[in-house]
Amino acid sequence: MPLMRSWVESANSAETEFPLNNLPYGVFSVGDGDLRCGVAIGDRILDATGLEATGLLRADADADVLDAPNWNDFMELGPTAWARYRADLQRILAEDADERLQDAAVSYSVPMARATLHMPFKVAEYTDFYAGRHHATNVGTMFRGPENALPPNWLHIPIGYNGRASSVYVSGTEIRRPWGQLKSPDHDAPAFLPSRRFDIELEMGAIVGQPSDGPVSVQQADDMIFGYVLLNDWSARDIQAWEYQPLGPFQAKATATSISPWIVTKAALEPFRVSTPAREKELLPHLREPGPMLYDIPLSVSIQPENAKESTLLAHTNYKEMYYSSAQQLAHHTTAGSPMTVGDLLGSGTISGPTRPERGSLLELSWGGKEPITLATGETRTFIEDGDTLTLSGAAEGDGYRVGFGDCTGKVIAALTDPYER
Amino acid sequence: MPLMRSWVESANSAETEFPLNNLPYGVFSVGDGDLRCGVAIGDRILDATGLEATGLLRADADADVLDAPNWNDFMELGPTAWARYRADLQRILAEDADERLQDAAVSYSVPMARATLHMPFKVAEYTDFYAGRHHATNVGTMFRGPENALPPNWLHIPIGYNGRASSVYVSGTEIRRPWGQLKSPDHDAPAFLPSRRFDIELEMGAIVGQPSDGPVSVQQADDMIFGYVLLNDWSARDIQAWEYQPLGPFQAKATATSISPWIVTKAALEPFRVSTPAREKELLPHLREPGPMLYDIPLSVSIQPENAKESTLLAHTNYKEMYYSSAQQLAHHTTAGSPMTVGDLLGSGTISGPTRPERGSLLELSWGGKEPITLATGETRTFIEDGDTLTLSGAAEGDGYRVGFGDCTGKVIAALTDPYER
């Protein structure tokens, strides 16, 4: 599919992440104004809440689903409404759109540079997976040696665990280094200290846009997914090492999860569908992919120390490196009968590629802290230092256009001096 | 504290779980009527939603916080409002209450036998702990031998993991046996089958009634807790055995969590406060209990096969057997900075006592399925069979009165024949 041209000139650039082909959904405010639903187009944001109120562009004839500080009510409407709304948006924003519509759209849009972006949806529950093979192999090799790198279940189920929805933040939110209980190998007892091995995990997040009530097939799961975001699963490796046996990570993953400000819809990603890699072991039927459900999306992560003039690319990888798709993860999530809810967020798990510069975490890049990384500034890093800004970027690459998410960025600030002093 | 007498005669019985000393909060409906907030008193339910509308009994002067199908808005008001509302309730229901108030209360009450009980609050997020020492020792001994029964971190932190809020159900909800991926030790590959080792976990649940934004002390955590429920953490042991390494239980715990219909407030439990047991290893300061924060509440679990005339007591134990209190668990939950939200539910972990008849799960009672239990009907059980009804009960025992939660019961029904056929 080629670039779809818009009368919003900046949307026709080969550089923008927001051409007419994309139309991602976010939430914005200007100045002290209310939070409103918005659609990114080039360097502008279309005020979807305002356009709904005028009657020019409605997702639902009867209810003002966009008169809200999030897209959850819109998601509730379901795939038919999602498709119709997207078609209406494309009609209004297309190069040959009716002039009256163009005029209205101009008056209901703001420059993105003037807007503050907020959480695009209300997270119902958050689940994180461990479904990237290169990541699991790297981490497993570090902790258990190359022969036992993958746990026995890994090739049969997308391993996941429930995370904390209350600490999912939009890109730009500062992330405070956590305290936690840590135990050094050379100490007998643990201590309560700020984490010294605070890390990123480069992931994608899938947003559940339709509910389920019982097990769903992989196809049904794919149909339930509304869209995707970039996702950084901040991780305190030292807290995790001490706490995670036998019931998994808990406080190590509780501090924060950052997501990109824009939800890229499944519709916008259609041209980039690819299949998951070849199976080493055949999956049981209920987890088999009936068609391509992964996406070819180049991804990268960079770091910029405080006061540094330039950032350093830490890694570049691709979403298609995942061993399991989000649809497979969601299908597995429902096997025991737990209902899924509109607004559930599923982290893909860290996306690493097969080579060293494709590793999606500092744990892997510094090989457990043993191989420091040299930055463009000449400094070195094993894990995150206070003041560092970490940025995930990603955009699928079409024929003369890109489909992106907006950066997912977060600056890590110093731990509280005394976490119990208020 | 002795029994506080009420003009509701059934509330003065030494047998009732709902004397004036208790006044637990629930949600009820009658016939096809709306869901309303209610307060249990003897064999009746006071219609708190109705009394708020009359103006006779208000929790907040300005807002109708009880005009809702749950107690969440009420919880938001905070401890001062909680105490004032409870004092008002006791004044209206006391033996010497003003007659006009008695008349109003009578007209705004229904016999409990006529009411259907619903979820008393909306669960924001659900966390389950593993903080009962006898349970952890029993399970650890089965899986790792007596020398390594407790993981190294166990005596230093209340081990917890995030669970699924969407599958928390009120007592009485039928529980469908889940399908899941299982692997027998004598097979090379896993299979997708109905769980064969479906189990209960006898727990208490603490309800977070005030939010936090950063680490809180154990005392602050105790102040944030609104009340307690009985909680059954249904567990598929065979799914768990295959999936839980390395990131903890996921689908094994996703099917359902049942809670009692009544939230017993912290105020009602005050007379029953006890300290946690002696520490084997001193806790780090931020997890030390500044005063008694556990409760002396005798608990039991029974089983009744389908069509059986009588139930069989499986175990009796006591909440005071916990090694960590809910306040300690909540404090730990906040250490890494994750906000806690009104409506968060914290499962205590399985409560087992030191002796065999005090074990709070079938896994422990049948010692991993090796020692079948004989029921009153003559049947035996290792794990739950289809048609079995499992019931948790519990009541603190005062001087001539009891403070209970209402039974937490659930009947297990057969797995779907084909989970993907709708």
Tell me whether residues A336 and B239 touch, CB distance under 8 A: yes
Could you tell me if A164 and A88 lie in one domain?
no
What percentage of chain A has pLDDT greater than the value 90? Answer: 98
Task: Say how far apart CA B108 and CA B114 lie, in whole Å.
Answer: 14
pLDDT at A197: 98
Could you tell me if B137 and B48 lie in one domain?
no
Instruction: Select which of B118, B134, B135, B332 is catalytic.
Output: B135
Task: Say how far apart CA B56 and CA B92 lie, in whole Å.
Answer: 10
The answer to whether residue A290 neighbours chain B at the CB level (below 8 Å) is no
pLDDT, tens digit, 9 for 90 and up, residues A32-89: 999 999 999 999 999 999 999 999 999 999 999 999 999 999 999 999 999 999 999 9
pLDDT, tens digit, 9 for 90 and up, residues B61-107: 999 999 999 999 999 999 999 999 999 999 999 999 999 999 999 99
Residue of chain A whose alpha carbon sits nearest to that of B245 = A151
Tell me whether residues B191 and A284 touch, CB distance under 8 A: yes
Task: Say how far apart CA A38 and CA A108 lie, in whole Å.
Answer: 10
Task: Classify residue B13 as exposed, middle or buried by CB count within 10 Å of its CB (0-12, 13-18, 19+).
Answer: middle
Q: What is the CATH number of the domain that holds A58?
A: 2.30.30.230
Could you tell me if A292 and A379 lie in one domain?
yes
Task: Say how far apart CA A81 and CA A66 lie, in whole Å.
Answer: 13
pLDDT at B338: 98
Contacts of B396 (CB under 8 A, 6+ apart): B269, B271, B272, B295, B296, B297, B298, B402, B403, B404
Structural domain includes residue A419: no
Structural domain includes residue A418: no
The answer to whether residue B217 neighbours chain A at the CB level (below 8 Å) is yes
- Mean pLDDT score of chain A: 97
Could you tell me if B76 and B159 lie in one domain?
no
Which domain, by its residues, includes A179? Answer: 126-413
pLDDT, tens digit, 9 for 90 and up, residues B123-170: 999 999 999 999 999 999 998 899 989 999 999 999 999 999 999 999
Could you tell me if A327 and A350 lie in one domain?
yes
Task: Say how far apart CA B39 and CA B262 lie, in whole Å.
Answer: 8
pLDDT, tens digit, 9 for 90 and up, residues A375-399: 999 999 999 999 999 999 999 999 9
Tell me whether residues B180 and A252 touch, CB distance under 8 A: no
User: Which of A183, A243, A257, A421 is the best substitution to test chain B (most B C-beta atoms within 10 A)?
Assistant: A243
Could you tell me if A45 and A179 lie in one domain?
no
B-chain CB neighbours of A163 within 8 Å are 162
B396 neighbors B374 (Cβ within 8 angstroms): no
Q: Which amino acid is at A389?
A: T
Tell me whether residues B248 and A161 touch, CB distance under 8 A: yes
* CB within 8 Å of chain A, chain B residues 14-53: none
Tell me whether residues A167 and B339 touch, CB distance under 8 A: yes
Tell me whether residues B247 and A337 touch, CB distance under 8 A: no
Average pLDDT over residues A147-153: 93
Residue of chain A whose alpha carbon sits nearest to that of B250 = A161
- Mean pLDDT score of chain B: 97
Distance of CA B189 to CAs A156, A217, B108, Å? 9, 21, 60
Chain B closest-CA separation from residue A19 CA (Å): 36
Structural domain includes residue A420: no
Structural domain includes residue B65: yes
Q: Does B135 qualify as catalytic in the annotation?
A: yes
Instruction: Select which of A135, A316, A332, A333 is catalytic.
Output: A135
pLDDT at A420: 94
Could you tell me if A69 and A204 lie in one domain?
no
Average pLDDT over residues A162-168: 98
Structural domain includes residue B421: no
pLDDT at A421: 84
Structural domain includes residue B418: no
Structural domain includes residue B4: no
Tell me whether residues B125 and A189 touch, CB distance under 8 A: no
